[in-house]
Amino acid sequence: MADPHGKIVLMGSGELTATMVEVHKGLLQQLPGTPRAVFLDTPAGFQLNVDQISTRAADYFQTHVRHPLAVASFKSNTPTVDYDRLQANRLLRQADFVLIGPGSPTYAVRQWEESPVPDLLARCVTAGGCLVAASAAALTVGRFTLPVYEIYKVGQDLHWVDGLNLLGRFGLNLVVVPHWNNAEGGTHDTRFCFMGATRFEALAAMLPQALPVLGLDEHTACILDLASDQAEVKGIGGITLRTSDGVMTVPSGSRFSLSVFRQG
């Protein structure tokens, strides 16, 4: 693969809220010409309201970002939706900016792993485009993916599943965990993507020792600029990098070298 010239943006949450409007605008303004922006619906493809989520994303971009957002509908990698898959692949092939967001990370990985989607996303970045992976989608791009629903809602034993490892294609060997500072539990701990501290410590111990974990606070974006080999944090929170040597927190507004991720 040629040297990448684009960006991968990881968002902890809030990809369709007021806090990320200026981030989206800035990313699109840095792309040449009139960028073709696409929303990929796969993570929520199993949900009955998936089309409503896509409509909300398109409306948000039109109203707040002031930029059209096409919908690449790839709800399922099954023969019954071949036409939709072909249309989605065409849109992704032409896209300069791809946004992927809420749903189930493990469902998304299952649909994409035997499809052209990972290669198309990587090609977008290599060609100078921008991939924005938020919330559930952020969980898919690393080496391992956290099965949030399966553990938090269904009660399965603690485990990880293989991720798409899109970041690994660009020399970034990481596990990405959004919703790092989540507080929705109220009376119980839902930090660390709804796992809570006790369960997440056990999960972290299951990972290879040398594998860093990148935690993303909610309403926070970590922009990985592969051309400049720099990262920047924007939003209302920060990021956390956990390695075998310790924990490093980086507040919003910070810029640093991507070598921090490579070296842990």
Residue 73 located in a structural domain: yes
User: Residue 15: pLDDT band by 50, 70, 90 thresholds?
Assistant: very high
- Between residues 16 and 114, the one the model is more confident about: 16
User: Is 84 in contact with 73 (CB distance < 8 Å)?
Assistant: yes
Distance CA 264, CA 255 (A): 16
Q: 68 to each of 36, 97, 176, 228, how far by Cα in Å?
A: 8, 11, 29, 28
User: What is the CA angle 171-232-36, rounded to 5?
Assistant: 80
Distance CA 10, CA 135 (A): 8
| Residues 220-235, mean pLDDT to the nearest whole number | 98
φ/ψ of 260, rounded to 5, equals -60, -40
Residue 48 located in a structural domain: yes
| Residues 52-72, mean pLDDT to the nearest whole number | 98
Q: Residue 150 above 60 pLDDT?
A: yes
Domain assignment of residue 121, given as a range? 7-263
Residue 145 located in a structural domain: yes
Q: What is the pLDDT of residues 17-34, one digit of tens each?
A: 999 999 999 999 999 999
Tell me the β-bridge partners of 125.
Answer: none
User: Is 29 in contact with 99 (CB distance < 8 Å)?
Assistant: no
Q: Residue 3 above 70 pLDDT?
A: no
| Residues 38-49, mean pLDDT to the nearest whole number | 97
Calculate what percentage of the chain has a pLDDT beyond 90.
91
CATH assignment of the domain containing 34: 3.40.50.880
Tell me the β-bridge partners of 231.
Answer: 224, 256
| Residues 128-134, mean pLDDT to the nearest whole number | 98
Alpha-carbon dihedral 116, 108, 249, 7, rounded to 10 degrees: 30
| Residues 221-235, mean pLDDT to the nearest whole number | 98
| Residues 93-113, mean pLDDT to the nearest whole number | 97
Residue 160 located in a structural domain: yes
Residue 29 located in a structural domain: yes
pLDDT at 263: 74
Closest CA to 128 of 60, 33, 233: 33
pLDDT at 1: 45
Write out the DSSP string of 79-119: GGGHHHHHHHHHHHHH-SEEEE-SS-HHHHHHHHTTSSHHH
Using only C-alpha atoms, what is the Rg of the chain?
17
Q: What is the pLDDT of residues 185-217, one digit of tens each?
A: 999 999 999 999 999 999 999 999 889 999 999
Residue 2 located in a structural domain: no
Count of the separate structural domains present in the chain:
1
pLDDT at 113: 93
Q: Residue 45 above 50 pLDDT?
A: yes
Residue 90 located in a structural domain: yes
| Residues 43-55, mean pLDDT to the nearest whole number | 97
| Token digits of residue 257 | 């070298």
Can you give the pTM of this predicted structure? 0.96
- Between residues 80 and 75, the one the model is more confident about: 75
As a whole number, the mean pLDDT across the chain is: 95
Residue 1 located in a structural domain: no
User: Is 13 in contact with 139 (CB distance < 8 Å)?
Assistant: no
Residue type at 199? R
Token look-up 């796992």 returns 195
Q: Residue 2 above 60 pLDDT?
A: no
pLDDT at 264: 62
